[in-house]
Amino acid sequence: MKKIEAIIKPFKLEEVKDALAEIGVTGMTVSEVKGFGRQKGHTEIYRGSEYTVDFLPKIKIELVVPDKTTDQAVAAITKASKTGKIGDGKIFVLPVDSAVRIRTDETGEEAL
Amino acid sequence: MKKIEAIIKPFKLEEVKDALAEIGVTGMTVSEVKGFGRQKGHTEIYRGSEYTVDFLPKIKIELVVPDKTTDQAVAAITKASKTGKIGDGKIFVLPVDSAVRIRTDETGEEAL
Amino acid sequence: MKKIEAIIKPFKLEEVKDALAEIGVTGMTVSEVKGFGRQKGHTEIYRGSEYTVDFLPKIKIELVVPDKTTDQAVAAITKASKTGKIGDGKIFVLPVDSAVRIRTDETGEEAL
Amino acid sequence: MKRLIRYALIGAFALAPFALQVASAADPAAEAASAVTAVIEAAAPAEAPAFTDLEGFAGSPGYATFTANNIWMMLSAGLVFIMHLGFASVESGLTRSKNTVNILFKNTLIPCIGLLTYAICGFNLMYPGGDFAGKWFGFAGFGVSVGADPASQVANLTSAYNAGYTYWTDFLFQGMFAATAATIVSGAVAERVKLGTFLIFSTIFVAVCYPITGMWKWGGGWLQALDTPFYDFAGSTLVHSVGGWGALAGVIVLGPRLGKFVGGRVKPIPGHSMPLAVIGVFLLWLGWFGFNGGSVLSADPALTSLTLMTTCLAAAAGGVGAAVTSWILLKKPDLSMALNGILAGLVGITAGADQMSAMSASLIGLIAGVIVVVSVIFFDKIKIDDPVGAISVHLVCGIWGTLAVGIFGNLAGTAQIISQLKGIVSIGVFTFAFALVLFLVLNAVMGLRVSPEEETEGLDLGEHGMEAYPDFTTVSPH
Amino acid sequence: MKRLIRYALIGAFALAPFALQVASAADPAAEAASAVTAVIEAAAPAEAPAFTDLEGFAGSPGYATFTANNIWMMLSAGLVFIMHLGFASVESGLTRSKNTVNILFKNTLIPCIGLLTYAICGFNLMYPGGDFAGKWFGFAGFGVSVGADPASQVANLTSAYNAGYTYWTDFLFQGMFAATAATIVSGAVAERVKLGTFLIFSTIFVAVCYPITGMWKWGGGWLQALDTPFYDFAGSTLVHSVGGWGALAGVIVLGPRLGKFVGGRVKPIPGHSMPLAVIGVFLLWLGWFGFNGGSVLSADPALTSLTLMTTCLAAAAGGVGAAVTSWILLKKPDLSMALNGILAGLVGITAGADQMSAMSASLIGLIAGVIVVVSVIFFDKIKIDDPVGAISVHLVCGIWGTLAVGIFGNLAGTAQIISQLKGIVSIGVFTFAFALVLFLVLNAVMGLRVSPEEETEGLDLGEHGMEAYPDFTTVSPH
Amino acid sequence: MKRLIRYALIGAFALAPFALQVASAADPAAEAASAVTAVIEAAAPAEAPAFTDLEGFAGSPGYATFTANNIWMMLSAGLVFIMHLGFASVESGLTRSKNTVNILFKNTLIPCIGLLTYAICGFNLMYPGGDFAGKWFGFAGFGVSVGADPASQVANLTSAYNAGYTYWTDFLFQGMFAATAATIVSGAVAERVKLGTFLIFSTIFVAVCYPITGMWKWGGGWLQALDTPFYDFAGSTLVHSVGGWGALAGVIVLGPRLGKFVGGRVKPIPGHSMPLAVIGVFLLWLGWFGFNGGSVLSADPALTSLTLMTTCLAAAAGGVGAAVTSWILLKKPDLSMALNGILAGLVGITAGADQMSAMSASLIGLIAGVIVVVSVIFFDKIKIDDPVGAISVHLVCGIWGTLAVGIFGNLAGTAQIISQLKGIVSIGVFTFAFALVLFLVLNAVMGLRVSPEEETEGLDLGEHGMEAYPDFTTVSPH
Ligand SMILES: Nc1ncnc2c1ncn2[C@@H]1O[C@H](COP(=O)(O)OP(=O)(O)O)[C@@H](O)[C@H]1O
Ligand SMILES: Nc1ncnc2c1ncn2[C@@H]1O[C@H](COP(=O)(O)OP(=O)(O)O)[C@@H](O)[C@H]1O
Ligand SMILES: Nc1ncnc2c1ncn2[C@@H]1O[C@H](COP(=O)(O)OP(=O)(O)O)[C@@H](O)[C@H]1O
């Protein structure tokens, strides 16, 4: 099993979710994060003073998939979330030792 | 060392925390996430139009534990967070290379 | 490649970001989390009853770095985020299998 | 099926005005004139030339004073109206964000329902007219109207009706008042009561229960006819305690919110927005300018200005009293207690606002501020779960304020204390019994409390399928 | 360059009062007195002793009544003023947090711009004076002033000007009114309209378009001169429909928000704060005490109290009507619909608030409450994207309320219905055409809609570089 | 021990009314009647039949006018009261969510404390009566009372006291005013000042400092007795600058918030809720209807309507002025600046609101709007950290408005400018010195600033152990 962590632009979430659903991914966990990277933040002004907001809103998607689905899932996310403009984000793949479905005590790929 | 990531139902947090404390876990990090899975979202209505909220609020607990405690911790979480109803969540275990306690520069299992 | 996860005190974020930028880290992802650890929560009172808030606000920084930069990055974070007082937080290092830059389809260390 | 009944019931109130019969031209409310009429009457001297139409009245010497009086009373109606926004804000501010839509919905509909039912029957139950003087019950027929012919319009729209206001102003002012009693209940039963059931309760409560006891005193009923008449200037008992008794009955039938009392310990459930709570309390204080100031029933300069002064000093002293008490008892100054203290001071002064000196008013308010803190803690101790402190503020301080009329000010004395106790007890027993039976019946028929799942998830999703703050990340349910 | 023009234009309005010419002492607004003047005139009897200076007037018998009337009208101006906060709250509550600063900015500046332009030209366009009676257009010159000499001050600051108020009170009350029409537009075009362009639209709309059609009726123009005069007591058509037509034109030119209609389906975009929406609606209701109550143009006790009663019953019935309708149609009671229902009831009663019985008022409100729910769903169906329901509330229910004058109450009758239709259609055609052309021209010259990137990211960052809630974690843009 | 003293002090104010001595029946405030009394007096003609009791007065010809006047003044008191909610909203909106409970607590308690201290001594320090005419200081004894016998009640509760209001109305209106000065300070010292210390400062400031300088002008003191009397209609200097000087002293002693000036650069600390700030500013504008309108001290139609017109045009022009200035200087239109601009216009017109034409009022407001933007930027440059812009709005524009009386309008002239400068400087020196010494003493005795840890974590947790928004996920402290 692998854990895929994708940092994407927020308005791409729906498309990515649909793309993953299409290839049979049935579960994922999403959170709001702030990203710092090549895409520069924007300048805001408040009461006469400028300041830079370095951290931009991003969405992090985490999903654990069977080894064999990994590449397909990464490809699906890449395709669905690409705009070609700076700040599109990253996908990281991490090894997973084990998984449990709390409701049933199933473990391993059964649990996903 | 292993990293345990548990996605649970929000109102189970207190119980899980207590269960982990009981087996001697002294630290953990918690965040609010949205989950997509077999448990279907609910339908909301706003001004005459329905829409489905696919993502349900969940809590993610992250904790790094010594290898030998891993199974015990996973078991404790499973037990405390189970309701038996769909959407109870998942536990994933990931390998960890190293850990540092910032305050003391301690590393390895000392740092946990 | 390694993934570094650092849990730090919120007001240290700026300094850690600058320290990482100095050693050439160009990307990272940040989120708000709640920490439970040796540092005890505070007691709040509401309408005559006390209650303990166990979970304290922390910031989680996630960054994926090339193997060779890992130690340097961990050291930079440790230095910048240390106050010496309880609750300074932890740094965990996890193995990463692969990385993709969504915009360009670059993979591996190129993608960071 | 149940749902259908619910619609039918709610719909009925909106449609009922069709069925209104023209109320008799006889003035049902004029008899309610309080002890303060001497001065007012002087302002519209008996020897005023009779007038036969509105134009004639407009040319008469008393017209200017009457116009001024009526302005004051219309504005008082507007000020009491804004108290409903105050209640909506306080109650939603002091509860959790997952129940906010639900609370706002209740507090939005209650004044709507309250006004409509008051038009249908409440007004004529509460002010049935002189025929029912000294009685326990009276009714002047359904509907509100000034009549079509000039004579009845003169009777109802000039100082012939009342020195202080027209029939319509009277209705509006009293109607805005009425709904406040039901709103008080809503805060106490918040975060667990079923919406439909609660709306039916409120409708019956405001349409029937509140006007009946209101009639006992303000409608010229038996409490007014006591040798030493029961005194309740603007409703410490008639409005606030009535709401408070309803709240108490509701909380007893409902039980506490999940997670409030765990393992014998009180677990506070903090409200989700202190700014909302503050907005609410200030609006309530402002509204009290009309609640008490309008209860003079004219713009009489001496009495209205006295009343506003006592009202504001009592509020201020209540705020300081509660802040200091909470600071001492709880080590830290609790904002929600200071806010409750202001309301406590206001409720406390309400029964005797026109009878007190600056000194007495401050003292009544100060004591109310202390009482409310102790009371909130006490009700938590005995496991009565009242999310916003409505019972402490409105019931307990309503009783305190009613008693205070016998202790301080112009009316102080043993006979008065006894009359005050008669009023407190009789109205308390009637209202509490009425509310309790009604809650129990509704509980049996259609259920009063939402399911534990819905309560955990929040009533906003369960009852409305909406979120109050869909853009914001909220923390997990406590 | 474009930017420069924008500054120049906006700046001009603030500076223009320098260029004001003294308005003729002749009373431009007095002629606008409505059908209700009989009673008012009686209050200031014709045989009142002439006075030559303000002191003389202060000693005259009519002074007290005039003072009371003027108090009522000044307070009405204040109540209409607070409607602007109501609009700001409703509109920001029913839209997303990423556009909140933008909406608040618009709603803050519109009353400012509205008042200033009304001083410069609006007032004198709307009330050009008796010379233009029965006409389609008139203008009494730039600026507002009572003149420097005692005679013109007596003419303008006493009952010689109007039985109900001074020249300044008149200006202020009407000026507060004027800006509401522009504010109505702002809600409908929210979340995608360019700030600068919209402010220019609003300025021209409130300075020119609104006063012209206002003059047709209230300024003594041709609609007032019909055999059966068009009747619009407080502006169901003259204010609300006018705003609604502007809103409709704007929405048509702009198109829907990104993500609202996807693949032929309606995707709701929930507002970000229900408490804000509730605060707004209650403040609007309160403001309507002045909007309708002040439209009596004096404190006449019979008429003002009648008006407030009909206003409040219609609001209450509108709220109940919309709540029940949404409960039945949509299975769950929708708070935002109940809120729209209250506003619908208020808009609906506005045209005939002084002509209805309690029963008719309740019915008009109830029907408005039903209409507004159906209308909101209908506009979504035809892909007119109106984030806050402004078109349904103000245009549709404005039309309904105007028609209702011919159906219910004292004026009901076929001739009246025909006159009402004349008013509705003529004002509708003029306003819609004016607004459409203006929006199209502005669109061509400086662009009306922000870029899709800006719309996605939010107008707060794009137009202002600010966030409304920088401390809070907000969920990702929908 | 310290804590004990704190309780004792705060408690004392609530209890002190017990120790009130009956104020002399001599009218302490009537002498404060401003230059505008000619007209008012005419309204209550000298030949009015003498009356010996309240009933007699109610039958007298002047009763209607007096009643109307008193209504206006009571409502003005209510409007000034709601300014406290305005301040609470603006101040909490423009600061961070971690300090919101603290700010709300201060702004809730200040009007409470202010009213009580004004009853105890403030009123009688500010209006000590004719014996102290032309003096620098006077005191009419502790407590407020109208006396028990009919004669003193007639003296205090009829037009014998003042043509515009009763003694109680006078006290209430002035008491509501008083607390605003202390509230102004609270915004500037927000987010770092210790609660207990600040409350003690406020209490002394409002009980002693504000009434003393107030007496110099409104109490008939030396500034009123100048050959060309200092003119400050409603308190650009007496209220707003006084608050502003206190704020400046506080900020100097406290120093800037952590993180505001880092490495020589200004780091903005955005406020947490723009809707709250907007609600606050609109409520303040509304409140100014009473603040300025009530300062006419009667409902005189000419003067009150003139005053409201100038007030609203100045506010509107201030909003436009600041919006345009910020748009030009900062490239983007800054909502918080537009809001400050409205307040700046209001503060600016306050000193001469009854002396200006529409044109002058607009210009005064417009200039105030420009000034406030420049001033905010300037104070940031010189490292005076004022989170809400209180010093720029109230002190700087208070000075501007006071000077403007000598430049524009009926009183313009060199002699007037000199008198205005005398007032500005004398009151400024006294107030600044008083506040500075008081802050320094309190700093030495009990500490003025919270610890850096508490400041970082937020004063809500540190001072109150509460959170303002416990349900919401907030971003990390800046
Ligand atoms: N090394 C990294 N580790 C973790 N997250 C990263 C890293 N680099 C970038 N990110 C995340 O990806 C987002 C996009 O990266 P950025 O460099 O701005 O653009 P791009 O993806 O086009 O290269 C960042 O906002 C950040 O959240
Ligand atoms: N493959 C996955 N990877 C990451 N998170 C998952 C995955 N599957 C499920 N989850 C998380 O677990 C939660 C519960 O899963 P769900 O399928 O709804 O029910 P159950 O746990 O009973 O099987 C989801 O809401 C989601 O947050
Ligand atoms: N075993 C753990 N796994 C994950 N997070 C941890 C663990 N232990 C501590 N943390 C995180 O680190 C934070 C600080 O830890 P704590 O024990 O309070 O102080 P210290 O870092 O000084 O030892 C905690 O609030 C929690 O977020």
Model confidence pLDDT, tens digit, residues D166-181: 999 999 999 999 999 9
Which amino acid, one-letter code, is at E103? I
Residue C107: DSSP 8-state:
B
- Give which of A92, A94, A96, A97 to mutate to test C binding, by max C Cβ within 10 Å: A92
**Which residue of chain E comes nearest to B33, CA vs CA?**
E475
Ligand 3 centroid – CA B101 distance (Å): 8
Place of tokens 């004058």: E405
Q: Give the angle subtended at the CA of D238 by the CAs of D235 and D244, to the nearest 5°.
A: 100
> Looking at ligand 1, which atom is closest to the CA of residue C25?
1
* Cross-chain Cβ contact A10/E477 below 8 Å: yes
| Helix (H) or strand (E) run with residue E73 in it | helix E63-93
B93 touches chain C (CB under 8 A): no
Q: Residue D449 pairs with which residues in a beta bridge?
A: D193
Ligand 2 centroid – CA B93 distance (Å): 15
Q: Which two tokens stand for residue D249?
A: 């009955």
Nearest to F76 by CA among F243, F233, F298: F298
- Give which of F267, F327, F473 to mutate to test A binding, by max A Cβ within 10 Å: F267
* E22 has pLDDT over 60: no
C chain contacts of residue B30, beta-carbon cutoff 8 Å: 33-36, 55
Q: What count of residues does chain C have?
A: 112
B68 Cβ contact list (under 8 Å, min separation 6): none
**What part of F 250-309 touches A (C-beta under 8 Å)?**
266-270
F456 touches chain C (CB under 8 A): yes
* Cross-chain Cβ contact D270/C46 below 8 Å: yes
* Cross-chain Cβ contact B45/D465 below 8 Å: yes
- d(C-alpha E233, C-alpha E220), whole Å: 13
- d(C-alpha D387, C-alpha D106), whole Å: 15
Could you report the per-residue pLDDT of D349-371, keeping only the tens digit for each? 999 999 999 999 999 999 999 99
**Mutational pocket test of ligand 1: of A36, A60, A88, the residue with most ligand atoms within 8 Å of the beta carbon:** A36
Neighbouring CB atoms inside 10 A of C39's CB total: 17
CA D149 to chain centre: 34
- d(C-alpha E320, C-alpha D228), whole Å: 43
- d(C-alpha D409, C-alpha D407), whole Å: 7
Cα A85 to Cα A38, A57, C78, D81, F423: the distances in Å are 11, 15, 34, 54, 62
For helices E167-188 and E195-204, what crossing angle results, to 10°?
140
Backbone angles phi, psi at A35, to 5 degrees: -110, 145
* Cross-chain Cβ contact C82/B102 below 8 Å: yes
**Mutational pocket test of ligand 3: of C36, C78, C90, C92, the residue with most ligand atoms within 8 Å of the beta carbon:** C90
Whether C112 is in the pocket of ligand 3, judged by its Cβ within 6 Å, is no
Which other chains touch chain E, taking contact as 3+ CB pairs less than 8 Å apart? A, B, D, F
Whether B88 is in the pocket of ligand 2, judged by its Cβ within 6 Å, is yes
Q: Which ligand is nearest to the CA of B81?
A: 2
| Helix (H) or strand (E) run with residue C101 in it | strand C98-101
Neighbouring CB atoms inside 10 A of F148's CB total: 9
Place of tokens 């693949």: E263
Contact call for residues D326 and C46 (beta carbons, < 8 A): no
Q: Which pLDDT band, with edges at 50, 70 and 90, does F429 fall under?
A: very high
* D345 has pLDDT over 80: yes
Structure confidence at residue E40 (pLDDT): 37
* B55 has pLDDT over 90: no
- Choose the closest CB to A28 out of B6, B36, B78: B36
E8 touches chain A (CB under 8 A): no
Encode burial over F225-252: b for 16+ CB neighbours within 10 A, e otherwise.
ebebbbbbbbbbbbbbbbbbbbbbbbbe
Could you report the per-residue pLDDT of E269-323, keeping only the tens digit for each? 999 999 999 999 999 999 999 999 999 999 999 999 999 999 999 999 999 999 9
Q: Which two tokens stand for residue F92?
A: 């909490």
Which amino acid, one-letter code, is at D297? L
* Cross-chain Cβ contact C10/F476 below 8 Å: yes
Structure confidence at residue D49 (pLDDT): 52
Q: Residue C99 pairs with which residues in a beta bridge?
A: A92
Burial (CB < 10 A; 0-12, 13-18, 19+), residue A67, is exposed
F429 Cβ contact list (under 8 Å, min separation 6): none
- Choose the closest CB to A33 out of C31, C103, C112: C31
Residue C64: DSSP 8-state:
E
Which amino acid residue places its CA nearest to atom 27 of ligand 1?
A: A35
Neighbouring CB atoms inside 10 A of B26's CB total: 11
CA F383 to chain centre: 25
* F6 has pLDDT over 90: no
C13 touches chain F (CB under 8 A): yes
Within chain D, what is the greatest distance between any pair of CA atoms? 74
Contact call for residues E423 and E237 (beta carbons, < 8 A): yes
* Cross-chain Cβ contact F466/C13 below 8 Å: no
Q: Which two tokens stand for residue E203?
A: 């300025």
- d(C-alpha D162, C-alpha D70), whole Å: 10
Place of tokens 């304290």: C56
- d(C-alpha E283, C-alpha E299), whole Å: 22
Which amino acid residue places its CA nearest to atom 20 of ligand 2?
A: B87
- d(C-alpha E419, C-alpha F170), whole Å: 51
DSSP D174-216: HHHHHHHHHHHHHHHTTTTB-HHHHHHHHHHIIIIIHHHHHHH
Q: How far is B102 from chain C (nearest CA, A)?
A: 5
Which other chains touch chain B, taking contact as 3+ CB pairs less than 8 Å apart? A, C, D, E
- d(C-alpha F189, C-alpha F254), whole Å: 7
Contact call for residues E76 and E290 (beta carbons, < 8 A): yes
Q: What count of residues does chain A have?
A: 112
Place of tokens 């008693």: D403
Cα D115 to Cα D178, E397, F410: the distances in Å are 8, 22, 50
Could you report the per-residue pLDDT of C22-78, keeping only the tens digit for each? 999 989 999 999 999 988 888 888 888 888 888 888 999 999 999 999 999 999 999
Whether C59 is in the pocket of ligand 3, judged by its Cβ within 6 Å, is no
Q: Which pLDDT band, with edges at 50, 70 and 90, does B11 fall under?
A: confident
Q: Residue C2 pairs with which residues in a beta bridge?
A: C65, C95
**Which residue of chain F comes nearest to D68, CA vs CA?**
F68
Q: Which ligand is nearest to the CA of C86?
A: 3
Structure confidence at residue D16 (pLDDT): 45
Task: Give this complex's ipTM.
Answer: 0.93
- d(C-alpha A101, C-alpha E110), whole Å: 57
Could you report the per-residue pLDDT of E181-211, keeping only the tens digit for each? 989 999 999 999 999 999 999 999 999 999 9
Structure confidence at residue E18 (pLDDT): 42
Using the Cα atoms of residue E316, residue E317, residue E320 and residue E321 in order, give the sign of their dihedral.
Answer: negative
- Choose the closest CB to C94 out of B28, B97, B105: B97
* Cross-chain Cβ contact C30/A38 below 8 Å: no
Using the Cα atoms of residue D153, residue D159, residue D162 and residue D164 in order, give the sign of their dihedral.
Answer: positive
Q: Which pLDDT band, with edges at 50, 70 and 90, does B51 fall under?
A: confident
**Mutational pocket test of ligand 2: of A16, A28, A59, the residue with most ligand atoms within 8 Å of the beta carbon:** A28
Q: How far is F207 from chain C (nearest CA, A)?
A: 30
Contact call for residues D373 and D337 (beta carbons, < 8 A): yes
Within chain E, what is the greatest distance between any pair of CA atoms? 74
- d(C-alpha E19, C-alpha E255), whole Å: 39
Helix then strand then coil, in percent of chain A rounded to 5, is 30, 40, 30
D chain contacts of residue B54, beta-carbon cutoff 8 Å: none
Contact call for residues F406 and F413 (beta carbons, < 8 A): yes
Average per-residue pLDDT for chain F: 90
Structure confidence at residue D337 (pLDDT): 97
- d(C-alpha C44, C-alpha F362), whole Å: 50
Q: How far is E460 from chain A (nearest CA, A)?
A: 10
* E454 has pLDDT over 50: yes
E56 Cβ contact list (under 8 Å, min separation 6): F42
Average pLDDT over residues A68-82: 96
Whether C35 is in the pocket of ligand 3, judged by its Cβ within 6 Å, is yes
Q: How far is E120 from chain F (nearest CA, A)?
A: 10
Whether B36 is in the pocket of ligand 2, judged by its Cβ within 6 Å, is yes
Neighbouring CB atoms inside 10 A of E40's CB total: 24
E213 or B40: whose pLDDT is higher? E213
* D124 has pLDDT over 80: yes
Q: Give the angle subtended at the CA of E205 by the CAs of E199 and E209, to the nearest 5°.
A: 170
Q: Give the angle subtended at the CA of F63 by the CAs of F59 and F69, to the nearest 5°.
A: 165
Return the SS3 of D157. Answer: helix
Backbone angles phi, psi at F7, to 5 degrees: -60, -45
* A99 has pLDDT over 70: yes
Q: Which two tokens stand for residue D141?
A: 């027929």
Ligand 2 centroid – CA B69 distance (Å): 24
Which amino acid, one-letter code, is at D116? L
**Mutational pocket test of ligand 3: of B2, B29, B105, the residue with most ligand atoms within 8 Å of the beta carbon:** B29
Contact call for residues F342 and F293 (beta carbons, < 8 A): no
* Cross-chain Cβ contact E335/D104 below 8 Å: yes
Q: Which ligand is nearest to the CA of B106?
A: 3
Average per-residue pLDDT for chain E: 90
Nearest to F68 by CA among D300, E305, E67, E163: E67
Task: Give the CATH H-level superfamily of domain F49-463.
Answer: Ammonium transporter AmtB like domains (1.10.3430.10)
Which amino acid, one-letter code, is at D91? E
Ligand 2 centroid – CA B37 distance (Å): 5
- d(C-alpha D90, C-alpha D183), whole Å: 11
Give the best-scoring range by mean pLDDT among C12-16, D177-181, E17-21, F411-415: F411-415
Contact call for residues D298 and D163 (beta carbons, < 8 A): yes
Which amino acid, one-letter code, is at D56? G
Structure confidence at residue F49 (pLDDT): 52
Q: Which two tokens stand for residue E437?
A: 């052309």
Q: Which two tokens stand for residue E403?
A: 């028609």
Structure confidence at residue F320 (pLDDT): 98
Neighbouring CB atoms inside 10 A of E404's CB total: 30
| Helix (H) or strand (E) run with residue E398 in it | helix E397-407
Ligand 3 centroid – CA B27 distance (Å): 5
